[in-house]
Chains A and B, each alone.
Chain A
């Protein structure tokens, strides 16, 4: 682990988004300088990580100059001139999105909702980021584009499917990135790469124009260096959208919420399931985080949640069924273009009956009601993201082998319940575990209570420095 030295802090690419935004607003730096700093790091480091599928250098520099001109004329948009990059599953007008796949895809005719909102806020986009094929994976493996590599140890997985987003933000190549989370794909990269990741409430952020994996589980959220940075992105991308019937008109938290004190807030600790069979390093980080919350005068109480195994199983049935339906034309048309693991996982969905799928959907109503009742009086529930730190790429490269699904289910057993129930969760760096790899824990909230998670995450980051730790990847 290394932290920025006083000298390296002069590299603006190492600032947080909040710091960069302030520096831009005060005229201490230009967007062009900031973008050049990021591009220099990308050029030096990306070959080791495979985080970017393409770097749009000339377009980025042109956009940065335009942002500087706009700012000189008084433009104060919230992300004006901030270099970001996005998982390659969000449609951009005039571009082809790979979706991490070999299946052909045409040129997009318009921006998807989240890209349009980021553009409207003035953000820059340095290029498409690596992802698991069709976002259907948990490690950052990709048979078509090569595997992504974890900035903390390039022999280890980034987590997926927002693999490029995770490792690029960890390596300080960009200030933030969008990911999608259907079964853990924002939180696993945040945990494995030591960054902050916000899985949003189902219905908080429009999916219009984004590649679907599972209609009723997919969510979009930011991966960033801090909770404040994640809040800055959320504020821009969230809110009602007529083009996505599930995107509800519920007030969006302002990033200023992060400044609120956390003393007196309450965090629930599940009595069962989440703290069973953890690796020692993850367990130690969890204990330390609970102790830290108590020092911050956050109340901690034990709670009993509904049957998480059953909720996980419902997620598997829903995800399998919906992905099978979405991919049916490709499976019938050109199955040979899939990587072995993705094809086998999609095929699994053809084993469920319609009744089983519908029962799993109906179950969510009762399970969410139970969850809300069980967490009354809690501002969040704290759990690990995964029982382990990042495994090696080789040991998790299980392809379509018979045991592959079991490996994947083990990695995602703490993340899927929030997808089944549509809950928001904020993953924050919480320490280091086995092999000196990062550990992230997640604050799980009730629907549309991202504000409380961001308050807790920002409060924790005011008192700790895990989020400032940087991989020694230069």
Chain B
């Protein structure tokens, strides 16, 4: 079940304040509306990194793929 956070203007203002940014109410309200679709689509709370992917290091997949591709080229393939 989705546990998506629906951002409120108050929550946005509080988060920003933690970074030293003071937001007017209207700006906080606008930001809450702007980021809500991404938070809903990403839904971090309903997602877990599989243990096989720990420690999280997405570049290791990229590097492994690049090295494999280079090795294939040496063997004469594209």
- Chain A residues engaging chain B, CB cutoff 8 angstroms: 201-203, 246, 248, 250-251, 260, 265, 309-310, 312-314, 316-317, 320, 324, 328, 331-332, 344, 347-348, 350-353, 355-356, 359-369, 372, 379, 402, 405-406, 409, 421-422, 446-449, 451-452, 455
Q: Judging by beta carbons under 8 Å apart, are B53 and A447 in contact?
A: no
CB distance from A452 to the nearest CB of B (A): 6
Q: Judging by beta carbons under 8 Å apart, are A365 and B42 in contact?
A: no
Q: Judging by beta carbons under 8 Å apart, are A310 and B20 in contact?
A: no
CB distance from B12 to the nearest CB of A (A): 4
Among candidates A260, A331, A406, A447, residue contacting B61 with C-beta atoms closer than 8 Å: A447
Among candidates A250, A313, A351, residue contacting B7 with C-beta atoms closer than 8 Å: A351
CB distance from A88 to the nearest CB of B (A): 28
Q: Judging by beta carbons under 8 Å apart, are A246 and B15 in contact?
A: no
Q: Judging by beta carbons under 8 Å apart, are B69 and A328 in contact?
A: no
Chain B residues whose C-beta falls within 8 Å of the C-beta of A360 in the assembled complex:
42, 44
Q: Judging by beta carbons under 8 Å apart, are B78 and A452 in contact?
A: yes
Q: Judging by beta carbons under 8 Å apart, are B62 and A351 in contact?
A: no
Contact indicator per residue, chain B 36-77, by CB within 8 Å of chain A (1) or not (0): 011111111001011001001111111101110110010000
A-B contact pairs, 20 of them (CB 8 A): A203-B59, A248-B62, A248-B63, A310-B43, A320-B38, A356-B44, A361-B58, A362-B49, A365-B56, A365-B60, A368-B58, A368-B62, A372-B61, A402-B33, A422-B59, A448-B67, A448-B70, A449-B69, A451-B69, A452-B69
Instruction: Kindly state the interface size class of chain B when it binds its partner.
Output: 35 or more
Given known contacts A312-B41, A313-B37, A250 and B78 CB-to-CB distance under 8 angstroms: no
Q: Judging by beta carbons under 8 Å apart, are B41 and A313 in contact?
A: yes
Given known contacts A202-B62, A316-B38, A368-B58, A350 and B23 CB-to-CB distance under 8 angstroms: yes
State in angstroms the CA–CA spacing of A314 and B19 once bound together.
21
Among candidates A246, A332, A359, A447, residue contacting B47 with C-beta atoms closer than 8 Å: A359
Among candidates B41, B53, B59, B69, residue contacting A446 with C-beta atoms closer than 8 Å: B69
Chain A residues whose C-beta falls within 8 Å of the C-beta of B23 in the assembled complex:
347, 350
Residue of B nearest to A446 (CB): B65
Q: Judging by beta carbons under 8 Å apart, are B58 and A365 in contact?
A: yes
Q: Judging by beta carbons under 8 Å apart, are A250 and B31 in contact?
A: no
Q: Judging by beta carbons under 8 Å apart, are A310 and B41 in contact?
A: yes
Q: Judging by beta carbons under 8 Å apart, are B73 and A317 in contact?
A: no
State in angstroms the CA–CA spacing of A446 and B78 once bound together.
13
State in angstroms the CA–CA spacing of A328 and B63 once bound together.
32
Q: Judging by beta carbons under 8 Å apart, are B65 and A355 in contact?
A: no
Given known contacts A348-B35, A368-B61, A328 and B12 CB-to-CB distance under 8 angstroms: no
Chain B residues whose C-beta falls within 8 Å of the C-beta of A350 in the assembled complex:
12, 15-16, 19, 21, 23, 31
Residue of A nearest to B45 (CB): A359
Among candidates B16, B53, B61, residue contacting A351 with C-beta atoms closer than 8 Å: B16
Among candidates A246, A251, A372, residue contacting B65 with C-beta atoms closer than 8 Å: A372
Chain B residues whose C-beta falls within 8 Å of the C-beta of A356 in the assembled complex:
5, 39, 42, 44
